[in-house]
Structure 1
């Protein structure tokens, strides 16, 4: 039974990865696969697929209104302080696949830096939400 589930899961994964029409490109940088998605333009099924394929999800929004933010700079640092990834997220949803361990995540929007440390488990996923204070000139 376990073998059948693994075969079915592998088959579905290959099918999903083969269906690239309308799916944003997944980028491999320094052994970190990552992708950014928008809200409204992207299918909820596509968003859920990305959540299942990656073990880290970041969401960017304004505090209070909850308005989603785009054009956020994302920098991931390993436990030893080494930079693992530097990327720009053109959408408010950012997904990455990381090796298990502890990471510092720096995100910057309009010159305002937020940092958080998190651990990536061997199985499962970590979801982090970053909220910036809104200012009239930020909108």
Structure 2
């Protein structure tokens, strides 16, 4: 179940590792359940340790994000249920474009329902 306060792992190469949801976007109530493809506001909790490279975000920055995979089962119209081992997001800038240039891991097809085609197209593994 994904709600306000849930923790996510970051699926791109922006430099962040773990983030926490602080607000929902798109007219959803803060108490409502979130699904794959929803946009949220997150705060960065943990960063990657990289030396000599300038990272695109810093710890305790507030960013937009879109949910691309979840532990909660996602049921499709064909009757298939898919789920991941952890919750994952892609970080977005203020103009709702991805901060990272590469996605690591799998991305659910349902992440494309909010016209985020660029997010899905830069991923190698789409389930």
TM range (shorter): under 0.3
Higher Rg: 1
Output the TM-score relative to the length of structure 1. 0.25
Question: Which structure's residues are more often strand, by fraction?
Answer: 1
Output the TM-score relative to the length of structure 2. 0.26
